[in-house]
Structure 1
Amino acid sequence: MQCFVYRSTRRDDTYLLTDRGETFEHIPGELLQHLGRLEFAFEFALTPERSLARTDGRTVIDHIERNGYYLQMPDRDYEST
């Protein structure tokens, strides 16, 4: 699966991952408002075996197939430092 990663301009260390490129109609409006403007960060080939910074490829693929996106947010420990 080709995965597109967008950085939130409003929330530090928060990323939206999707397989649809710059099409955000499938993302809930309330979530888009919360994230602010989204900046394209990068694109990569996502496989179930791929290890990511805070999760694994299978989890991201499952979320994208079910919801159309995966939201990566900072860990609670990170937010409190």
Structure 2
Amino acid sequence: MLCAIYKSPRKAQTYLFVKTRDDFSSIPDGLMKTFGTPVLVTLINLATKEKLAMADLDKVKKNLNEQGFYLQLPPPQEDLLKEHKAAMNAKNEQGEL
């Protein structure tokens, strides 16, 4: 299964996988407006891949077959301050501080 991968010029680390190069007919209008004008990154054969770097291969294939596209969003940013505060609160509750 061949697919084309495009990046968004508006949203960092946001990618759109489509079955056919330059065919965005299956993409909802609202998504295309938010995504911006797609910039081609690469063409890949999913049949020869065992895994993808930032997406679940089976989910990508399923979405391509059912919806005609797959949208890869960036991973959530770590909130190190929130994690530190949670760790400090846990230590306070255990009487370690």
Normalising by structure 1, report the TM-score: 0.88
Higher relative strand content: 1
Q: Is the alpha carbon distance of 1:23 and 1:75 closer, same or farther for their aligned partners in structure 2, counting shifts above 3 Å?
A: same
In structure 2, C-alpha distance between the alignment counterparts of 1:35 and 1:17, rounded to whole Å: 12
Alignment of 1:1-81 (within 5 A): 1-47=1-47, 50-77=50-77
Q: Over aligned residues, Cα RMSD in angstroms?
A: 1.9
Q: Secondary structure at 1:30's aligned position in 2? A: helix
In structure 2, C-alpha distance between the alignment counterparts of 1:54 and 1:16, rounded to whole Å: 12
Shift of 1:49: 5.5
CA contact (8 A) 1:50 1:56 kept: no
Q: Secondary structure at 2:51's aligned position in 1? A: coil
Normalising by structure 2, report the TM-score: 0.74
1:6-58 per-residue CA deviation (whole Å, 9 max, x = no partner) reads 01000000000011110111110000000011000000100285211122321
| Structure 2 segments unaligned to the other structure (5+ residues) | 81-97
| Structure 1 segments unaligned to the other structure (5+ residues) | none
Bigger relative contact order, structure 1 or 2 (CA pairs below 8 A, ≥6 apart): 1
Larger Rg: 2
Instruction: Please list every run of at least 4 consecutive aligned residues from structure 1 whose deviation after the TM superposition is greater than 4 angstroms.
Output: none
Q: Secondary structure at 2:60's aligned position in 1? A: helix
CA contact (8 A) 1:3 1:45 kept: yes
Higher relative helix content: 2
Q: Percent identity?
A: 29
